[in-house]
Structure 1
Amino acid sequence: MTVSEKQQEQQSNLHTRLWAIANDLRGNMEANEFKNYILGLIFYRYLSEKVEGRAESLLAEDNISYIEAWENDEYREALQEELLSQIGYFIEPKYLFSSLKKAIEEGNFDIEMLQGAVNDITESTIGQESQEDFDHLFDDMDLTSTKLGRDVKSRSKLIAKVMGNIAEIPFSHEDTEIDVLGDAYEFLISQFAANAGKKAGEFYTPQQVSKILAKLVTVGKKDLKNVYDPACGSGSLLLRVAKEAKVRKFYGQELTSTTYNLARMNMLLHDVSYQNFDIRNDDTLEHPRHIELRFDAIVANPPYSANWSADDKFLDDERFSAYGKLAPKSKADYAFIQHMIYQLDDKGTMAVVLPHGVLFRGASEGIIRKYLIEKNYLDTVIGLPSNIFFGTSIPTVILVFKKCRENSENVLFIDASSNFEKGKNQNLLRDEDVEKILLTYAERKVVDKYSYVATLKEIEQNDYNLNIPRYVDTSEEEEPIDVKKVKAEVEKLDEEIKGIDSQLELLLRQLGI
């Protein structure tokens, strides 16, 4: 069995188990709610096992267990100090996942024990450097909710069953070829997104699109000082960049509190130290939290055509003032672009997914687009297939921006809208589709009916309209029509119709009609 086949088999087994766990909760609540409990408990187990593993390492030379060491004041104080320094939190032995699992097996488990455990994690960070990264992290896992059961006993029984199933997931194994934690997280997010309607797309970007964005911003780079996403959702785009290059620090901002919690969980689930990420919960356009920083790489899939205040005060904001115009209140797409351009380092690369309207809409958006093109910031326009995002069927486009471009006299257009595999719910970008996009981008070449390198003069002649069909001709020549042949066929049909009419008239006379 190849590594790829083993990965697929292990992923399939994991996904089957995750849905079995979901079924324990499915009758009690909606998908978006039971997801919070499953992910919260997986995350709690992960944090717990990380504490156990780190404590075991710290106590290796002392030949003493974590439980025994905790009973000793001197050991306990030293352990707390080391754990807070190394991983940013600690969990008392009695609150470890393994301890609660033992209580379940012995019939002594109570849901309030789990509540104590998650409280213990948060409280351990108070006053520490890691406090903000753990604050309110488990808020979406409401263990007092009547949806889990009407009383403590019924809630305890249900959660105990879920925890028992989660305990069976092989988080680490010598034969494991997948990132079990990461895959579990991504699977549940994707399944939730597939069933949760339009808003799900705000925090989940399909993996193939994430891959394209990540590769675009890391071309020729293996070490990034930082990466930023101003609408980071679950943080999956930020983490995808780390698969392409070493990222020293991750920055993101997310408006929705629940999704903000998911992003912080996701960072820690992927073993990103609390010291190496800075995710904030606020409105990026109205209240940017990293405005003083400049970034090596920026990736984003912001909410499409979202509303924003477009207040006149922003005409004096350095992010927007040079353009002379603000994006309209009902379409914040260019406001996000302007914000990201402002925070992009001179040698950085930015890739953002947006609706096709940004290519051709006029008024203030047309003025902003013209400014970006004339400043030589726009590098590449990539048209994607329709219906590849959860909850929306509209076609989208990737825009690549750089402040200091090697190809300052032209813009690359790629029409990848016809290269996909049709799926049941969504269309899918295949590996070969992704590779074709990336190869064309890297080589910056003209491919018949697929890509075109347009000069800035050509774009100016098109009134700065970037609609891809203006530059990439995908039309097919119609076959020439043989008029004589068509005329002969029509005449033949006329004769056949006359014959049929005659036969019909004869039948009608015979019937006396």
Structure 2
Amino acid sequence: MIPNILQYESKIWATADLLRGCGIKESEWPSFMMPFFALVMIESRLVRMFDELKAEIGEEAWADISQDELIELIQDKGQGYNAYIFEKNQTLKDICQNDKSFDIDFEGYLHGFDGETKDLLGVDTTQGEKFLDIKGVIAKIKAKKVLLGYTKEWSGIDLKPFDNSAITTLEEHIKRRWADISAETAGEQYTPDDVIALIAEIIASKIEDSDRLLKIYDCTCGGGNLLFGVEDRIKVKVKRLTQTFGQDWNDALYALAKIESRFRVDSKIEHGNTLTDDKFYNDEFDVVTANPPYGVSWKGYEKDLRNDKTQRFKYLPSISDGQLLFMQHLISKLNANGMGVVVHNGSTLFSGDAGSAESNIRKWMLDSDIVEAVIQLPTDEFFNTGIYTYLWVLNKNKKRRDQVMLINASEKFKPLKKNKGSKRKEVDEASRLEIVETLTNFVDNDYARVFDKEFFYFNKQAIMLTNVDEQGRTFASHLKEDQTSLKLKPVKLENGERTLTEFTITKYDLERFSSLLEVYEQDIKPFVDSLDYKEQPLVVMTKEAMYSFDADQETLIKEALGQKEALGCGRIVVKAALKKATKTQPERIEITVELTPNYQKDYEIIPFHRNEAANRAAIEAFMAKYITKPFEYLENVVGVEINFNKVFYKPEKLRDVGDILKEIRFLDEELKRLEEELAL
């Protein structure tokens, strides 16, 4: 009976004891363990492939095969080659038996691999791409004088009895622990098994048995756990031939995924930055899935993206977060009937105001009717973050056109018996099936709602308000039809602290001031800049009248011949400008004063209606109900956000007042009793 492969997880992790013993930091363990895990994984699969090939040919025919024919047969499998294993019949465990020849044999063993395997392991690396960098790791371990012991620990891990699927499962668990302890790039999250299972269930629910090839793509595949995990689970649920495609630019994770891909029937893994160098630019896929990094800047390749000619990116989001770049890329890779499930954090739902790139991307997605559902997962679901995460379900072949379902699965989980880093919960099988059934039925229930897509749209209507005083008056009533302001010719300005009486300073004034610019910067400009008609008692005096602003009544005041007149709400605008000399006037500083109406730009958020006439009517009805001041319409921008709190928020039930009073009386009596006891 073949044992459960996960029993080997602790044995593999025990190899790190030697690393701890020679002072290597825990955060560095993954870089030391990855190449040796890959080595053991490759060897076990090559030996298994060799045994299967032998059984397939039969013992009698096997005896007649020449060495050259054997090599050709093995190479035709496309899974790799190793001269020590196939020609000398020696494995890593055999090499570790002789400590005297170990160094030479181990070097020969590593160089006995085929060229691609050596590249992925980093056997001959001198510069450039190192991938798993086994050469560098060996040098460091050798310096610690534990290379033989460390290699021997790994050679004792025998994975030969297990098939590809079982080894992939083990690999996922090991990579998860690496992700948990390593100082990963900000925003990179390892996708846990239960989330992979949920994604696979969603995809499988929309796929039928067929002879047609199913092409599955992950644009940020990492070590392949999500891509291959989805493939394996789909094949259990649906009778379909599958082909996987993935790309990643992390050297070590790409190498692990590439090695894994060679032991699968049909898989292509490429290395590079998907956003700037799409290795599958001519391909479209039936299924896309990804868990792209959260909140990671794309500033390092901003120029490339702004000059991108592929037309993948309708809008470029904030440079501090590239999630929606990956989303747009994935949508561009879907074929005519393609679908996908993409993991994001909450920022893709609501970041950016109306008119921003983020809002425009969401609007473009909903306008294109490609979003079928968004599913909120529980917190504490991932290994190194406790935040809410969301599954975007994309579908070019939606049955319910122009509708989107929100599923609040935040309570659909089972607590883990033992925490795994930040992961304290898992979406168990019963919950997964329930979520998929809800999505399939596409009707409201207590944790899911179906909306017309326009529910998520909103109008951001800009208006220009004309502020009025307590009597509802505005200074605009004192202006002629073509006027925007009333210009004054002041003889004196006072702001309660200083008085300014000189309004045109010429070269004559240089006898009193060493520099005209110095006067402007150090004397007049601070005076003008400090003026605030609402806070300082600014008084403007002309030959005819005196003007000020009454903050209590919010109105401009004109005083002439002892009579005060309220002019309505407005502003006193004072400006100073340095003017160059002209033919008729010398170089000078000019101060101007104007009275203007008090305008204020404002924005109103108003529900959106699909019909243009109905939408305009809704905006006008909103304004009539809520805006009491005179205003003019400015631009209207339609934004999109998806707000789970708005839909699923349940206010805390308030306690009955009688119960609260009863509790207060009880506490009062308890306090009196305690006071009496203390007095005794």
Indicate the TM-score class for this superposition, using the shorter chain for normalisation.
Answer: 0.7 to 0.9
8 A Cα contact 1:218 1:297, kept in partner: no
- 1:244-292 per-residue CA deviation (whole Å, 9 max, x = no partner) reads 1334321111011111101112223xx304xx22211111111111111
Distance between the aligned counterparts of 2:187 and 2:241, measured in 1? 25
The offset of 1:493, in angstroms, is 4.8
Partner of 1:337, secondary structure, is helix
Distance between the aligned counterparts of 2:105 and 2:30, measured in 1? 25
Q: 1:491 to 1:162 in 2, by over 3 A?
A: closer
1:343-354 alignment, distance < 5 Å:
343-354=333-344
Which amino acid in 2 is paired with 1:206? P
Higher helix share: 1
8 A Cα contact 2:81 2:113, kept in partner: yes
Q: 1:285 to 1:64 in 2, by over 3 A?
A: closer
| Match of residue 358 from structure 1 | 348
The structure 2 residue matched to 1:14, chosen from 8, 19, 22, is: 8
| Match of residue 452 from structure 1 | 449
| Match of residue 253 from structure 2 | 259
Query: Normalization by structure 1: what TM-score?
Result: 0.81
Q: 1:16 to 1:326 in 2, by over 3 A?
A: closer
The offset of 1:32, in angstroms, is 0.9
8 A Cα contact 1:26 1:34, kept in partner: no
8 A Cα contact 1:233 1:259, kept in partner: yes
- 1:272-331 per-residue CA deviation (whole Å, 9 max, x = no partner) reads 04xx2221111111111111110000000011122114448647634345x3x3112111
Distance between the aligned counterparts of 2:369 and 2:6, measured in 1? 46
8 A Cα contact 2:375 2:391, kept in partner: yes
Partner of 2:329, secondary structure, is helix
Query: Is 1:386 matched up with 2:369?
Result: no
Distance between the aligned counterparts of 1:25 and 1:218, measured in 2? 42
The offset of 1:20, in angstroms, is 3.2
- 1:192-225 per-residue CA deviation (whole Å, 9 max, x = no partner) reads 1221244497373101111112222232324543
Query: Is 1:194 matched up with 2:180?
Result: yes
Distance between the aligned counterparts of 1:154 and 1:487, measured in 2? 72
The offset of 1:385, in angstroms, is 1.2
| Match of residue 73 from structure 2 | 82
1:130-149 alignment, distance < 5 Å:
131=116, 134=117, 136-139=119-122, 140=132, 142-143=134-135, 145-149=138-142
Distance between the aligned counterparts of 2:358 and 2:88, measured in 1? 54
The offset of 1:19, in angstroms, is 2.8
- 1:86-114 per-residue CA deviation (whole Å, 9 max, x = no partner) reads 23533325666744533444556413323
| Match of residue 102 from structure 1 | 94
8 A Cα contact 1:413 1:452, kept in partner: yes
Which amino acid in 2 is paired with 1:234? G
- Percent sequence identity is 22
Distance between the aligned counterparts of 2:677 and 2:54, measured in 1? 97
Task: Extract unaligned runs of 5+ from structure 1.
Answer: 1-5, 70-74, 124-130, 508-513
1:455-470 alignment, distance < 5 Å:
455-460=452-457, 461=607, 463-470=639-646
Distance between the aligned counterparts of 1:328 and 1:365, measured in 2? 7
Which amino acid in 1 is paired with 2:309? D
| Match of residue 31 from structure 2 | 33
8 A Cα contact 2:222 2:254, kept in partner: yes
| Match of residue 330 from structure 2 | 340
8 A Cα contact 1:310 1:327, kept in partner: no
Partner of 1:136, secondary structure, is helix
The offset of 1:390, in angstroms, is 1.9
| Match of residue 481 from structure 1 | 656
Distance between the aligned counterparts of 1:378 and 1:387, measured in 2? 25
| Match of residue 205 from structure 1 | 191
Distance between the aligned counterparts of 1:150 and 1:208, measured in 2? 41
The offset of 1:238, in angstroms, is 1.4
Distance between the aligned counterparts of 1:93 and 1:59, measured in 2? 22
Q: 1:410 to 1:63 in 2, by over 3 A?
A: closer
The offset of 1:503, in angstroms, is 6.9
8 A Cα contact 2:5 2:167, kept in partner: no
Distance between the aligned counterparts of 1:96 and 1:200, measured in 2? 46
- 1:91-150 per-residue CA deviation (whole Å, 9 max, x = no partner) reads 325666744533444556413323322322223xxxxxxx5xx46121225256343233
8 A Cα contact 2:111 2:118, kept in partner: no
8 A Cα contact 2:324 2:361, kept in partner: yes
Distance between the aligned counterparts of 1:232 and 1:106, measured in 2? 40
Partner of 2:656, secondary structure, is coil
8 A Cα contact 1:198 1:390, kept in partner: no
| Match of residue 486 from structure 2 | none
Partner of 2:369, secondary structure, is coil
Distance between the aligned counterparts of 2:333 and 2:59, measured in 1? 48
**CA RMSD across the alignment:** 3.1
The offset of 1:47, in angstroms, is 4.2
Q: 1:27 to 1:490 in 2, by over 3 A?
A: closer
474-483 vs 225-234, which deviates more? 474-483
Q: 1:294 to 1:480 in 2, by over 3 A?
A: same
The structure 2 residue matched to 1:286, chosen from 276, 279, 289, is: 276
The offset of 1:417, in angstroms, is 1.3
Q: 1:33 to 1:312 in 2, by over 3 A?
A: closer
Distance between the aligned counterparts of 2:20 and 2:203, measured in 1? 40
Distance between the aligned counterparts of 2:95 and 2:184, measured in 1? 41
The offset of 1:18, in angstroms, is 2.1
Distance between the aligned counterparts of 1:502 and 1:156, measured in 2? 78
Distance between the aligned counterparts of 1:316 and 1:104, measured in 2? 52
Which amino acid in 2 is paired with 1:272? R
Q: 1:312 to 1:262 in 2, by over 3 A?
A: closer
Partner of 1:113, secondary structure, is helix
Which amino acid in 2 is paired with 1:92? A
226-235 vs 212-221, which deviates more? 212-221
8 A Cα contact 2:40 2:154, kept in partner: no
| Match of residue 375 from structure 1 | 368
Q: 1:403 to 1:161 in 2, by over 3 A?
A: closer
Partner of 1:249, secondary structure, is strand
| Match of residue 395 from structure 2 | 402
8 A Cα contact 2:244 2:268, kept in partner: yes
Q: 1:109 to 1:248 in 2, by over 3 A?
A: farther
Q: 1:33 to 1:491 in 2, by over 3 A?
A: closer
Q: 1:186 to 1:98 in 2, by over 3 A?
A: farther
Query: Normalization by structure 2: what TM-score?
Result: 0.63
Which amino acid in 2 is paired with 1:306? V
Distance between the aligned counterparts of 2:677 and 2:135, measured in 1? 82
| Match of residue 433 from structure 1 | 431
Partner of 1:428, secondary structure, is strand
Higher strand share: 2
Which amino acid in 1 is paired with 2:105? M
Distance between the aligned counterparts of 1:154 and 1:272, measured in 2? 34
Partner of 2:234, secondary structure, is coil
Partner of 2:337, secondary structure, is strand
Distance between the aligned counterparts of 1:188 and 1:286, measured in 2? 30
Q: 1:365 to 1:109 in 2, by over 3 A?
A: same
328-337 vs 307-316, which deviates more? 307-316
Which amino acid in 2 is paired with 1:87? G
